[in-house]
């Protein structure tokens, strides 16, 4: 199915029958990607004296409870409610779902203290499309371990706040990355990149979103795409999500 899209006074076409899923599936067990010391996802049949929610176990239907943490158990999209005192819901603040996006690949710079960061210079050098509303950052190296990596207590790479400021100054409202956070794992609660991106608390940008723990396969090339951010309608600061790219033709 070919669709014609208009974005920022530009028109282009995409084939909606050829989606490029950049989310990580939510699975039970310790092989699922994990961060922030959360417990593994649990997907279990409801079992009571009157009912068994498993066809395999003799029930009439599969009827399962699911327990997970959206921030730590997989691909998720979050809003300013992640860092605000007042509760803000991703379901109430993400009102549009299709965006012109640019995918870039960056190998984080290693600092003298061992930290790996994405710098403003790297972001500026990698950017080609100044019309993009969303940026998708694939970090290098891009091994498949990202799909089941246990990130807790590993000090993953992160983005310096100057790079985030550069992105929002160029019109980026949606930031997607294949890391558990845009900020350092242990930073005493400063969360500089989060605060910079949402301009919180001075001028909160309610419509902006951050999506973390994506995975972009190597065969998806850097460049322009149509991005669709799909979320579950949780009234929470974050929701599991399924960001999907479509090649521009």
Ordered alpha helix ranges (H), 127-245: 161-169, 192-198
Q: For the whole model, what pTM was predicted? A: 0.96
CATH classification (class only), 2-24+74-247: alpha beta
**Residues present in the chain in total:** 249
Q: pLDDT tens digits, the chain, 249 residues: what are they?
A: 898 888 777 888 999 999 999 999 999 988 899 999 999 999 999 999 999 999 999 999 999 999 999 999 999 999 999 999 999 999 999 999 999 999 999 999 999 999 999 999 999 999 998 889 999 999 999 999 999 999 999 999 999 999 999 999 999 999 999 999 999 999 999 999 999 999 999 999 999 999 999 999 999 999 999 999 999 999 999 999 999 999 999
Structure-token pair, residue 41: 């996802």
Q: In sequence order, what are the residues at sequence separation of 6 or more whose Cβ sits closer than 8 angstroms to the Cβ of residue 248? A: 12, 13, 14, 224, 225, 226
Helix, strand or coil, per DSSP, at residue 22: coil
Residues 1, 24: Cα–Cα separation, whole Å: 25
């Amino acid at each position: 199915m070919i669709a014609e899209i208009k974005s920022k006074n530009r028109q282009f076409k995409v084939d909606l029958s050829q989606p490029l899923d950049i989310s990580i599936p939510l699975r039970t067990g310790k092989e699922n990607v994990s961060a922030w010391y959360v417990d593994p996802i649990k997907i279990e049949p409801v079992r009571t004296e009157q009912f068994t929610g498993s066809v395999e176990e003799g029930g009439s239907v599969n009827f399962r409870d699911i327990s997970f943490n959206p921030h730590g158990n997989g691909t998720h999209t979050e809003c300013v409610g992640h860092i605000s005192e007042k509760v803000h819901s991703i379901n109430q603040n993400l009102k549009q779902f299709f965006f012109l996006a640019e995918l870039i690949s960056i190998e984080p710079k290693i600092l003298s203290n061992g930290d790996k960061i994405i710098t403003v210079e790297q972001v500026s050098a990698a950017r080609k499309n100044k019309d993009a509303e969303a940026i998708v950052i694939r970090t290098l190296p891009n091994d498949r371990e990202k799909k089941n990596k246990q990130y807790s207590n590993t000090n993953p790479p992160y983005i310096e706040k100057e790079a985030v400021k550069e992105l929002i100054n160029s019109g980026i409202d949606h930031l997607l990355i294949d890391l558990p956070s845009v900020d350092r794992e242990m930073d005493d609660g400063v969360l500089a990149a989060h605060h910079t991106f949402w301009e919180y608390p001075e001028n909160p940008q309610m419509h902006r979103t951050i999506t973390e723990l994506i995975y972009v396969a190597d065969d998806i090339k850097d460049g322009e795409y149509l991005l669709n951010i799909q979320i579950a309608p949780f009234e929470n600061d974050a929701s599991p999500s399924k960001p999907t790219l479509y090649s521009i033709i």
